[in-house]
Amino acid sequence: MTLLAWAGCLCFAAYYSGLDAVAGISAGTVVDHGVHGAAGPLFATGDELGRTGVYGLAVASLATSAVLWRRHGARVLPGGAVLLVACWSFVDSHIFWPKGVFTMLGFAVAFALLTNAASRPAKDVQHPEAQTNP
C-alpha cells in the first residue's frame, strides 16, 4: 500500500508539473509572442495533464489513508475523508477563487487532522509486530 502511495505521488508530481509547464509556460510564451490559435490547445493539453496528476494524488491520498488507518485506527478517518473530498474538488478547481481556495483549505484541514491522528500512539490498534509467539 505504501508503494501505491508513492506511485500516486510520482504521478501527481510529474503530471501536475506538466500542467504548469504546458498551460503556464508554453501558453504564456505563445501569447506573449502573438501566436494566434496555439494557447487554446495548450490549455486543453495542460488540463488533461493536471487531471491525470490529480487522479494520482487521489490514489496517493487513499493509499496513505489506508496505511495510516492500519497503523492508527479509525481516528484517521475524518482526515482521510476530508482529504478525498479535497482531491475530488481539486480535479476542476485548481487554485482559483473561490472553489480552488476552499479546496486548498480542505487540504490543509485534512493534513492537520491526519497529522494529529498519526502523532498519538495507537494504543487501541493491534500491530502484528506487537504479537508474541508462545
User: Can you give the pLDDT at residue 120?
Assistant: 85
User: Can you give the pLDDT at residue 128?
Assistant: 53
User: Can you give the pLDDT at residue 124?
Assistant: 56
User: Can you give the pLDDT at residue 41?
Assistant: 96
User: Can you give the pLDDT at residue 86?
Assistant: 98
Parts of the chain with a pLDDT under 50 = 130
Task: Give the whole-angstrom CA distance, residue 29 versus residue 27.
Answer: 5
pTM, two decimal places: 0.85
- Name residues whose C-beta falls within 8 Å of residue 110's C-beta, 6 or more positions apart in sequence: 79, 80, 82, 83, 86
Q: Identify the sign of the CA torsion 11, 15, 109, 99.
A: negative
What angle is formed at CA 114 by the lines to CA 7 and CA 48, rounded to 5 degrees? 40
H or E element at residue 117 = helix 99-119
Task: Give the whole-angstrom CA distance, residue 8 versus residue 14.
Answer: 10
What angle is formed at CA 19 by the lines to CA 17 and CA 23, rounded to 5 degrees? 130
